Amino acid sequence: MAVGHLVAATLTPSSSPVLAVGATVIDRTPTPMKEWAVRELGTKDKPVLLGSVLLVTLLLAGLAGLIARRRRAAGATVLITLVGLAGLAALSRPLATARDLLPALAAGAVGVAVLLGLAHLADRTTGTRRGGAGATGPGEPPPDHPMTAAASPATTRRTLLLAVLGVAAATAVTGWAGRSLEKWRTRISGVRIPTARQPLPPLPEGLDAVYDGISDFQTATGRFYRVDINLSLPIVPPDEWDLRIDGEVDHPFTLTFDELRAMPLVERDITLTCVSNEVGGKYVGSARWRGVLLSTLLDRAGVRDGADQVLSTAADGFTISTPLAAVQDGRDAMVAIAMNGEPLPAEHGFPARLVTPGLYGYVGATKWLRKLTLTRYDDAEAYWTERGWATEGPIKVSSRIDTPAPLSRIDAGRTVIGGVAWAQHRGVKGVEVRIDGGPWQAARLGPSAGIDYWRQWYLPWEATPGRHSLAVRATTRDGEVQTAVRATPFPNGSSGIQEIQVVVE
């Protein structure tokens, strides 16, 4: 497996046997189970998945070893079957080619060699001879011949132990080399992003500078949430990248990365939200994005009548469908190439990604973008809509209590209740807090960075000893009050009022 991962790191990381099987499991996992994993495991869902794949593989490989003690061919067949399934998983990925079989072939060759070698050494420790007791192979001397004098059992056991330790050490080194190579190939260096034609002024100081615990006004790139189905990052060198705009357009065209960044760039402060975010959840973040307005690209292509969706395709073949009406209503949807003043990180879509204010990421935030196809919903479905998620995905007004933390214990006295609220493309007009089921009280809002950006808020509170219940709700600029009706993330985003318990001592 380690050798297969190393080979994949030199070619396409997603063709690694373990990653290919893991990705297939993700694709075939029922939506309720996916939602459970995101809700209960958060960002640990992928490590848990990969760990489970590794554990099952090791158990089955161990079974192959036991079988090989009696029947070499049968044991090797079990191992080859495992590798073959991984190879088929790699070939089933979108955009897979024949070379994606190479990591599985390498894993199979090394795996069988190690299996047979260790089985042979194990036989020597017990004096087992292939073919039964007293049997000799073609050309072998009889058991009582001087040339057949075996090494002592202690010697063969030491040899076997050293061989096992050697295999373990080689596995660790090879696995580390594969992981390091993968990271090296996804690093971003020497990429310069031009400034925007009209750079935005620095963001004002947020409430986080005054009150501990409130989310930063601008989310640091390294702490920005990441939710996607990728177990490995696509490797897309900028000098090999291009963006194709085609489908129901009058003038299809292709842009290189240099051509894209030479176009008039804009900067926008936009909050993104994942549809998997539960009420009060962490899958929301705010950043300053720089790129080319999507409307500029669509105007150049000339969208034909009848198209109703923008089907975007990522470098690995993953697809997202964005309602055309949502990117033609004046909102600042863009093909972003920079985040918080720096080139996009690999984990957030380098070289380019979609950013669509007011839409959940599953319909408006394609990472590792390679193609925009103007088409109809009747003619093409994207990855998530094929799995039953809602077609349009507008973000619901929501709010979150950051401080005090749920179930925390705080000191009695004067403190604050604070957090963030968002209603992208409509804006937040007000936030209210309810304490112990009492009347809603208007909270104080932090600075504004536009209707597509979240608002920080706080409410001074004279906390008295005892257990207290705190709830929050937001109101949009057009008057919609955050609903108390509870809904799960599937199929079009969660809703409800966050209410937490704290203990004041």
Q: Are residues 220 and 352 in the same domain?
A: yes
Q: Are residues 336 and 438 in the same domain?
A: no
pLDDT at position 141, please? 44
Q: Are residues 310 and 438 in the same domain?
A: no
CATH of the domain at 332: 3.90.420.10
Q: Are residues 180 and 221 in the same domain?
A: no
Are residues 60 and 78 in contact, defined by beta-carbon separation less than 8 angstroms?
yes
| Residue 427 belongs to some domain of the structure | yes
Q: Are residues 62 and 154 in the same domain?
A: yes
Q: Are residues 415 and 475 in the same domain?
A: yes
pTM (2 d.p.):
0.86
Q: Are residues 299 and 245 in the same domain?
A: yes
Q: What is the mean pLDDT of the chain?
A: 91
Are residues 74 and 65 in contact, defined by beta-carbon separation less than 8 angstroms?
no
Hey, how many other C-beta atoms are within 10 angstroms of the C-beta on 189? 5
Q: Are residues 371 and 423 in the same domain?
A: no
Q: Are residues 256 and 348 in the same domain?
A: yes
Domain boundary among 387, 412, 441: 387
Distances (CA, A) of 266 to 73, 236, 288, 296, 307: 63, 23, 10, 11, 26
Q: Are residues 55 and 171 in the same domain?
A: yes
pLDDT tens for the 505 residues of the chain, in order: 999 999 999 999 999 999 999 999 888 888 788 778 877 887 788 888 889 988 998 899 999 989 988 899 999 999 999 999 999 999 998 888 999 999 999 999 999 999 998 888 888 877 655 544 444 444 444 544 444 445 566 778 888 889 999 999 999 999 999 999 998 998 888 899 999 999 999 999 999 999 999 999 999 999 999 988 888 899 899 999 999 999 999 999 999 999 999 999 999 999 999 999 999 999 999 999 999 999 999 999 999 999 999 999 999 999 999 999 999 999 999 999 999 999 999 999 999 999 999 999 999 999 999 999 999 999 999 999 999 999 999 999 999 999 999 999 999 999 999 999 999 999 999 999 999 999 999 999 999 999 999 999 999 999 999 999 999 999 999 999 999 999 999 999 999 999 999 999 9
Q: Are residues 383 and 402 in the same domain?
A: no
| Residue 260 belongs to some domain of the structure | yes
| Residue 134 belongs to some domain of the structure | no
Are residues 105 and 84 in contact, defined by beta-carbon separation less than 8 angstroms?
no
| Residue 193 belongs to some domain of the structure | no
pLDDT at position 127, please? 65
Are residues 94 and 317 in contact, defined by beta-carbon separation less than 8 angstroms?
yes
pLDDT tens readout for residues 217-250 = 999 999 999 988 888 899 899 999 999 999 999 9
- Residue 306: give the domain boundaries: 207-387
Hey, how many other C-beta atoms are within 10 angstroms of the C-beta on 361? 26
Are residues 473 and 424 in contact, defined by beta-carbon separation less than 8 angstroms?
no
CATH of the domain at 499: 2.60.40.650
Domain count, the chain: 3
| Residue 195 belongs to some domain of the structure | no
DSSP letter at 487 equals B
| Residue 14 belongs to some domain of the structure | yes
Rounded to 5 degrees, φ, ψ at 305 are -65, 140
Domain boundary among 387, 414, 446: 387
